[in-house]
């Protein structure tokens, strides 16, 4: 397996992989009940998100046998949050596809989570997404990406607190297994719908 930063040419493959991985994620099921429409919606969200991360932050991909099998979106928490950047990157695309209202619902939910995380550290890192291709899930690829790519990169860049949030019990076990500490449990609300949300943190040290 090899790692590299994603390029513009990878955006479609990355968005497809992320859409497949998050198709049953509670954060998205409360926004769209129909699975086919939900996948299209997630694809659009993730296409815009990966485009944003490729240009402004870090989008890492894991490659095996010349295929992208994993994607990780990482950003520094120094400076301002970029929810407006998300809209600027994808506003026209979302309007054209009739998805703007649902995109705003999604942003409302993630803004609530990210506000909490940003308050914990303005000099750390946020792992926005980590997704593994379904063909290789269950083979330790997620742990390999964290330990072989994400942790070393953060360490090389000076270290700091790494923060993330998840909505599933399976992911809770995964991040605990990989050294994260659970730092908060909460409920995110969207009208009458509620989604469980757990926040995690880990200190990465610099070798210097």
Q: What is the CATH number of the domain that holds 186?
A: 3.40.630.30
State the total domains in the chain.
1
Q: Which of 128, 202, 130, 120 is nearest to 161 (CA)?
A: 202
Task: Give me Rg for the CA atoms of the chain.
Answer: 16
Ramachandran bin of 5, using left for φ above 0, alpha for ψ from -120 to 50, beta for the remaining angles: beta
pLDDT in tens, 93-141: 777 777 777 777 777 766 666 655 666 666 799 999 999 999 898 899 9
How far apart CA 77 and CA 126 sit, in angstroms, is 7
* Residue 157 domain boundaries: 2-204
pLDDT in tens, 43-59: 988 998 898 899 889 99
pTM: 0.89
Residue 45 tokens read as 């969200």
């Amino acid at each position: 397996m090899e790692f590299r930063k994603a390029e513009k040419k990878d955006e479609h493959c990355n968005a497809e992989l992320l859409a497949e991985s998050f198709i049953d994620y509670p954060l998205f099921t409360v926004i769209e009940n129909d699975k086919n429409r939900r996948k299209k919606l997630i694809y659009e969200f993730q296409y815009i998100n990966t485009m944003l991360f490729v240009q402004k932050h870090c989008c890492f991909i894991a490659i095996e046998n010349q295929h992208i099998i994993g994607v990780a979106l990482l950003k520094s928490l120094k400076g301002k949050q970029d929810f407006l950047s998300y809209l600027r990157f994808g506003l026209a695309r979302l309007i054209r596809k009739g998805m703007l209202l649902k995109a705003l619902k999604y942003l409302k939910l993630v803004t609530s989570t990210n506000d909490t995380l940003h308050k914990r550290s303005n000099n750390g890192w946020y792992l926005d997404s980590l997704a593994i291709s379904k063909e290789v899930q269950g083979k330790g690829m997620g742990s390999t990406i964290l330990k072989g790519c994400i942790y070393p990169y953060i360490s090389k860049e000076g270290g700091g607190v790494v923060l993330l949030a998840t909505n599933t019990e399976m992911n809770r076990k995964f991040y605990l297994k990989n050294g994260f500490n659970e730092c908060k449990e909460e409920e995110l609300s969207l009208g009458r719908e509620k989604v469980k949300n757990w926040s995690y943190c880990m200190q990465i040290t610099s070798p210097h």
